[in-house]
Amino acid sequence: MDSTPIALFLESTYPAPPLTPPSGHDLAIQSRARAAVGPAFRTSITPRELRILSPRSQEYFRRTREAALGVQRLEELLEPPGKEEEVWRGVEGAMREVGEMMRTSKAEGPFVLGERPCQTDFWIAGALQAARVVDEGVWRRVVAFPGFAEVYGACEGWMGKMD
How do residues 46-67 score in pLDDT, each as one tens digit?
999 999 999 999 999 999 999 9
Which helix H or strand E contains 88, and what residues bound it?
Answer: helix 83-102
pLDDT of 18 reads 67
Beta-ladder partners of 66:
none
Q: Which of 60, 47, 57 is nearest to 134 (CA)?
A: 47
Set out the domains of the chain in order of their start, with CATH numbers. 22-158 (1.20.1050.10)
- In this predicted structure, the answer to whether residue 5 has a pLDDT above a threshold of 80 is no
Mean pLDDT of 126-146: 96
Average pLDDT across the chain, whole number: 91
- In this predicted structure, the answer to whether residue 112 has a pLDDT above a threshold of 60 is yes
The amino acid that residue 3 corresponds to is S
Q: Which residues contact 45 (CB under 8 A, 6 or more apart)?
A: 130, 131, 134, 135, 138
| C-alpha to C-alpha distance for 90 and 48, rounded to whole angstroms | 20
